[in-house]
Amino acid sequence: MSTDVIAKLKEMAVDPGRVWIAGGLTYAGLLAETGRLANALVSLGLKKGDRLLLQVEKCEAVLSLYLACLRTGVVFLPVNPGYTVAETAHFLTDAEPALAVTDPERVAGLTALGARVMALPELLALAEGQGAGFAESSHGPDDLAAILYTSGTTGRSKGVMLSRENLASNAEALVGLWRFSETDVLLHALPVFHTHGLFVATNCVLYSGASMIFHRAFQPAAVLAALPGATVMMGVPTFYTRLLADPGLTRELCGHVRLFISGSAPLSPATHAEWRERTGHAILERYGMTETNMITSNPYQGERRAGTVGMPLPGVEVRVAGAEGVLPQGEAGAIEVRGPNVFQGYWRLPEKTAEEYRQGWFVTGDMGAFDAEGYLSILGRAKDLVITGGLNVYPAEVEAALDDLPGVAGSAVIGVPHPDFGEAVVACLVAAKGAGLEEVAVRDALRERLAAFKIPKRVLVLEDLPRNAMGKVQKAELRRVHAGLFTEG
Ligand code: AMP
């Protein structure tokens, strides 16, 4: 069994000088703040198992509130502040939080939906008047720690139930693997409503007694200015491409950094190579999802293989399976996961939960293959697989070929209904600054690399690819917009 997050916090808070957030709180200060917040939550009548919905712009208090919930046993339910009131309504009716905490300007909107709402500044003021001491009741490893809603690009968003052990076991695995220590300073510029910034980043810091530089938003110039003081940065791929676009990114600036980590969306081998050339660092790519926490990682020592997500984390089992069962190495199939990292099910959806398991393994919905050295490659979401004329095309393979072409800054390959082929492969491209992309030339260039059935039937050059807050391309949106490409006029 792993050490619980709160036990870890208390252990780290013994050293009065240990810094949690640079220029902000110490761990001792954090422990006191979480105690006051925990007392405030109890004074509001919240108890173990109740849900607390938090929808605020990124700020340091989110992390304190997450930990305060763990101290009280209240289930932490963070929501993307980018969601409209109408979108948030689903979380209120589905999760029935005992309290919703939000920015002052959202209070009226959420109150109108019938929720019990409090503005964050009001809660912080209430906490200020409370004592810092808080006696935890006992918590078990299987108790719920948090519910994170899936981004719900297809169908309704589902509440992912994560236990204390899910979080703790993953934090311990990552700290060991990525060699986190108390001398580390993590540059934190990720959102804190998502597993990446909330659990991966925050818990790695907490479990090693490290500190963080906390940015309330990702701004390339501010990140570049802060890099010399950091030893680790975690980012989504768009962080890296945007930093590369800034001439201010130099090898000297990264001299103090020991590790750059990327995840949440595929990092293109081109970006990996360009980053290495500019900074001397091989970005370490890892793979995970809300339901499973982190699953695989490239090695700290040893080759960080671009275009792969590395090997299973210690304690985590990964298999690639087809309809008949586990597939031989090298073959592409469904990625399935088992281990203490895997969630407790979807909130109030036991049947949906059961559907996502096969022989006790959680079916991630991602397709992938292991290479001879045990590195896993992600070939895309199963639902993004394109079946054209009866043949399977993995978008990731075509995207990798496209990304290698000169003048291509980004690509997304989708399947679009086609009268002859069922589905046709379509490439959506974004041109690099100043580059022109010609449909015919792109298709010709691909012919040297890909079998004919994988060559896109159409190449569309777009201004931009639609992405969510984590930098993931919204393929469902592209499919919707281009659905009529072959069937209309
Ligand atoms: P989320 O639950 O929002 O974190 O999304 C999880 C999904 O993001 C996974 O199922 C993958 O499809 C994708 N993902 C996460 N990390 C990577 C990665 N390193 N490469 C490719 N896809 C990734």
Which domains, and CATH codes, for the chain?
5-173 (3.40.50.12780), 218-381 (3.40.50.12780), 385-481 (3.30.300.30)
**What tokens does 288 get?**
């995970």
470 C-alpha to ligand 1 centroid (Å): 9
According to DSSP, the residues that pair with 132 across neighbouring strands are none
Nearest to 88 by CA among 79, 96, 76, 97: 79
Task: Tell me, using a 6 A CB cutoff, whether residue 384 lines ligand 1.
Answer: no
Cα(291) to ligand 1 centroid in Å equals 11
Beta bridge partners of 392: 387
Closest ligand 1 atom number to CA of residue 196: 4
Is the CB of residue 197 less than 8 Å from the CB of residue 149? no
Contact 363, 296 (CB under 8 A): no
pLDDT in tens, the chain (489 residues): 999 999 999 999 999 999 999 999 999 999 999 999 999 999 999 999 999 999 999 999 999 999 999 999 999 999 999 999 988 999 999 999 999 999 999 999 999 999 999 999 999 999 999 999 999 888 999 999 999 999 765 568 999 999 999 999 999 999 999 999 999 999 999 999 999 999 999 999 999 999 999 999 999 999 999 999 999 999 999 999 999 999 999 999 999 999 999 999 999 999 999 999 999 999 999 999 999 999 999 999 999 999 999 999 999 999 999 989 999 999 999 999 999 999 999 999 999 999 999 999 999 999 999 999 999 999 999 999 999 988 899 999 999 999 999 999 999 999 999 988 989 999 999 999 999 999 999 999 999 999 999 999 999 999 999 999 888 999 999 999 999 999 886
Strand 99-102 versus strand 117-119 pairing type: parallel
Helix, coil or strand: residue 26: strand
Q: Closest Cα partner for 308 from 357, 247, 356, 266?
A: 266
The CB of 309 under 6 Å from ligand 1? The reply is yes
- 66 burial via Cβ count (<10 Å: 0-12, 13-18, 19+): buried
In the reported structure, the alpha carbon of residue 20 is separated from the centroid of ligand 1 by a whole-number distance in angstroms of: 28
Residue 156 is predicted with a pLDDT of 80
Give me the pLDDT at residue 137, please: 82
Protein residue whose Cα sits closest to atom 10 of ligand 1: 289
Position in ligand 1 atom list of the atom nearest CA 468: 3
